[in-house]
Structure 1
Amino acid sequence: MPTLNEVATRAGVTPATVSNVLRNKGRVGEATRQRVLEAIAALGYRPHLPARALAEGRAPTIALMVSSIANPFYPEFALAVENALRRRGQFLIICNTEGDPQTGRAYLDQIAGTLSEGVLVMNANLDFEDLRMTELRGAPVVLCMWERPLDPPGLPCVAVDFRLAGELAAKHLLELGHRRIGAIVGSKVYGIHAARYEGFVDAMRGAGLECAAAPVLYTPDTTRGGYAAALELLKAHPDLTALFTTNDLPALGAMQAAADLGLDVPRDLSVVGITDIQLARESRPALTTVAVPTTEAAEFAVELLVDLIETTASRAASDGARQARVCVTSPPHLVVRASTGPVRKR
């Protein structure tokens, strides 16, 4: 297998220049860069990541921990993270916990600080104390898509105002004339979607509607969960003209349930979600949703984590050595599509 020194000799440059080209760092002239790339291609050189980690005293990878890679939002977020890391000459490891804290702790013990020099955490059902211990061992941690910007978790995080997202979704339905609106929450009562539902409740109260007038069900954050919840709500409350859901997957399931009940969306029932995953744009009818800044949040998370890694490398990490930083993204925004329409008089 060719070595980095052999690439440098063939290109007529120093090994450091080859390293800068591979990592897209430093000032390298375009002609020199092309010579290095041609030498890499001619020799078939591939970086040896463990050797690079030993030489530099740091791993060239970042770990992203998610609760379920089957949820289509997480691959979309992971792609945005990977793109941001690739521009920095780094790589991504995805750790799927299946919502199991023990699996998450095993990943933290085996990967953080060895295979990866930092960890991004996305709703992986991990105890904050485990994450703080990971920080103390020298592997910084950043929470991604924290849902309450005004209530930071005491760990570095990138926050999105999901309460506003719930409020925007509800206001859209209210502006269309809907007053009999059911709610489907894709988490437990005090789970990760609680802020989204609180925003919905705020908007309903602002319109003079009591929360009791809006039936709500809590369900798994899946298409199947949304389907089952929508069936139950629509059968128990046939007067509903709209459904608010706290995520796109339950919203897609709700539209399937409406179709199975013989209801037309949006003529008989309007449905709105939150997040704006790719499936929301491709469903028929296309789903009205409140889009969150997924790419921006991923880039913020990478930037914050890399900064923390460099800070940790320059001084020994200690409890309370730095105040946990919070980066807040731009606000969510409504994307109106075909799943919502004016209330129809019955």
Structure 2
Amino acid sequence: MTTLMEVAQRAGVTPATVSNVLRQRGKVGAATRERVLEAVAALDYRPHLTARALAEGSTPTLALMVSSIANPFYPEFALAAERAARRSGRFLIVCNTNEDPVMLRAYLDQIAGTLSEGMLVMNAKVDFEVLRKTQARGTPVVLCLWERPETPPGIPCIAVDFAAAGALAAHHLLELGHRRIGAILAGGLDGVQAPRYEGFCATLKLENVAHPDSEVRFTTDSVQGGYQAAVQLLDEHPDLTAIFATNDLPALGAMHAAADRGLRIPEDISVIGITDIQLARESRPGLSTVAVPTEAAATLAVELLEALIDGKAGGNAPMQIAPVPVLVVRASTGPARRKKRRRQTAERSRGKR
């Protein structure tokens, strides 16, 4: 492997000059810069990031902790964060905790301050005390997609008004004439997606639309979880004309369950989710959803973390608010059908099984 010293010798400069050229720092003349770059290309030199970190006490790398890389939202967020990091000359490491708090602590202990200058942590099963300990050791931490802007977590974060997202979904269904609406909540009433359901319920209440506890199901944030929850709702409440899910994956599962029962979407039942992942755009029919500002939130998170690293962020625990979620109407939602026709359709679907 070519060393920095060999590049310097070939270019006839000091190792410090080579480093300044590669890091785009200091004042280096155009002719000298060209000579260094020619030497780098000729020797196929690649900087050793670990050695640089040891020498300089820092590394141009950020780390992103996600709870499950199998969830398609996290790769989409990671791509946006990676683009933002590269704009400032940094790299991004993605660490999958697999929803294991022990793995999260291990990553924070081993990577924070060594392989990465700062940590981006997605908002799922987070132990705030562990994050505070990481901060205390001198490594900045930013919590991504905090779902309760009205209650700052005491840790630097990017917040999204997810209660507003739930309200938007409810308004859309109500405007289409739906009054019997089932709900699928990924997690429990104390989970990270609870604000979405709270916004949904608050909107129904304002419009005097009943939503009994029997018409909500709690499940995992997955297509299969949404499928199973929708099966229960459709079997026990055949008069439902719409289903709201707190995330797109369960919403897609609900669409699959409806289709397996011979129900037409949206003629017999409408389905809406929250997030607007790529699968929502590619499903057939396309899934109506409330889009989360993924690109903007990821960019804000990286910029806030870099400001903390550079000592430019004001306040002990700054919170920035991402742009508001936006309703995206596709083919999975339509006007509510009359109860009689809906009941006949449900009876036909049961007769096929």
Could you state the TM-score of these two structures normalised by the residue count of structure 1? 0.91
Structure 1 residues 32 and 258 mapped into 2: Cα distance closer, same or farther (>3 Å)? farther
Structure 1 residues 243 and 27 mapped into 2: Cα distance closer, same or farther (>3 Å)? farther
Q: Distance in 2 between matches of 1:158 and 1:119?
A: 13
Structure 1 residues 190 and 45 mapped into 2: Cα distance closer, same or farther (>3 Å)? same
Q: Distance in 2 between matches of 1:52 and 1:263?
A: 60
Structure 1 residues 207 and 310 mapped into 2: Cα distance closer, same or farther (>3 Å)? same
Q: Distance in 2 between matches of 1:322 and 1:25?
A: 29
* 1:339 equivalent in alignment to 2:338: no
Q: Distance in 2 between matches of 1:106 and 1:138?
A: 17
Question: Are the equivalent residues in 1 in contact too, given 2:64–2:93 (CA < 8 A)?
Answer: yes
Match of 1:329 in 2: 322
Q: Distance in 1 between matches of 2:281 and 2:265?
A: 15
Structure 1 residues 86 and 7 mapped into 2: Cα distance closer, same or farther (>3 Å)? farther
Q: Deviations over 1:36-71 (max 9, x none)?
A: 555433321111001111222112221111111110
Match of 1:154 in 2: 154
Match of 1:40 in 2: 40
Match of 1:187 in 2: 187
* 1:163 equivalent in alignment to 2:163: yes
Structure 1 residues 226 and 36 mapped into 2: Cα distance closer, same or farther (>3 Å)? farther
Question: 5+ residue gaps in structure 1?
Answer: 315-320
Structure 1 residues 305 and 85 mapped into 2: Cα distance closer, same or farther (>3 Å)? same
Q: Distance in 2 between matches of 1:17 and 1:176?
A: 66
* 1:209 equivalent in alignment to 2:209: yes
Q: Distance in 2 between matches of 1:87 and 1:29?
A: 24
Question: Are the equivalent residues in 1 in contact too, given 2:266–2:331 (CA < 8 A)?
Answer: yes
Q: Distance in 1 between matches of 2:20 and 2:321?
A: 32
- How far the C-alpha of 1:254 sits from its partner, in A, is 0.5
* 1:96 equivalent in alignment to 2:96: yes
* 1:237 equivalent in alignment to 2:237: yes
User: What is the DSSP-based 3-state SS (H/G/I as helix, E as strand, rest coil) of the residue aligned with 1:116?
Assistant: coil
- Corresponding residue pairs, total: 339
Q: Deviations over 1:95-130 (max 9, x none)?
A: 211111111111111111111121111034231011
Q: Distance in 2 between matches of 1:93 and 1:244?
A: 34
Match of 2:304 in 1: 304
Q: Distance in 2 between matches of 1:185 and 1:83?
A: 32
* 1:248 equivalent in alignment to 2:241: no
Single out whichever of 36-45 and 299-308 deviates more from structure 2. Answer: 36-45
Structure 1 residues 24 and 88 mapped into 2: Cα distance closer, same or farther (>3 Å)? farther
Structure 1 residues 16 and 202 mapped into 2: Cα distance closer, same or farther (>3 Å)? farther
Q: Deviations over 1:120-151 (max 9, x none)?
A: 11034231011101100011111000011111
User: What is the DSSP-based 3-state SS (H/G/I as helix, E as strand, rest coil) of the residue aligned with 1:89?
Assistant: coil
Match of 2:123 in 1: 123
- How far the C-alpha of 1:3 sits from its partner, in A, is 2.9
- How far the C-alpha of 1:209 sits from its partner, in A, is 1.1
Match of 2:60 in 1: 60
Question: Are the equivalent residues in 2 in contact too, given 1:59–1:115 (CA < 8 A)?
Answer: yes
Please tell me the residue identity of whatever aligns with 2:47: P
Q: Distance in 2 between matches of 1:12 and 1:340?
A: 68
Q: Distance in 1 between matches of 2:28 and 2:277?
A: 39
Q: Distance in 1 between matches of 2:59 and 2:97?
A: 22
Question: Are the equivalent residues in 2 in contact too, given 1:24–1:87 (CA < 8 A)?
Answer: no
Single out whichever of 326-335 and 50-59 deviates more from structure 2. Answer: 50-59
Q: Distance in 2 between matches of 1:25 and 1:244?
A: 53
Question: Are the equivalent residues in 1 in contact too, given 2:124–2:192 (CA < 8 A)?
Answer: no
Q: Distance in 1 between matches of 2:233 and 2:69?
A: 29
Q: Which has the larger radius of gyration?
A: 2
Question: Are the equivalent residues in 1 in contact too, given 2:180–2:211 (CA < 8 A)?
Answer: no
Please tell me the residue identity of whatever aligns with 2:320: C
Q: Distance in 1 between matches of 2:331 and 2:31?
A: 52
- How far the C-alpha of 1:210 sits from its partner, in A, is 2.8
Q: Distance in 2 between matches of 1:226 and 1:297?
A: 26
Match of 2:258 in 1: 258
Match of 1:133 in 2: 133
Q: Deviations over 1:250-293 (max 9, x none)?
A: 01100000010110111111110100101111111111110011
Q: Deviations over 1:188-211 (max 9, x none)?
A: 121001100011011111211133
Q: Deviations over 1:165-223 (max 9, x none)?
A: 00001111111111111110111121001100011011111211133287111110000
Q: Distance in 1 between matches of 2:264 and 2:28?
A: 60
- Identity between Structure 1 and Structure 2 (%): 67
Q: Distance in 1 between matches of 2:33 and 2:242?
A: 58
Structure 1 residues 267 and 128 mapped into 2: Cα distance closer, same or farther (>3 Å)? same
Structure 1 residues 84 and 12 mapped into 2: Cα distance closer, same or farther (>3 Å)? farther
Match of 1:318 in 2: none
Question: Are the equivalent residues in 2 in contact too, given 1:227–1:250 (CA < 8 A)?
Answer: yes
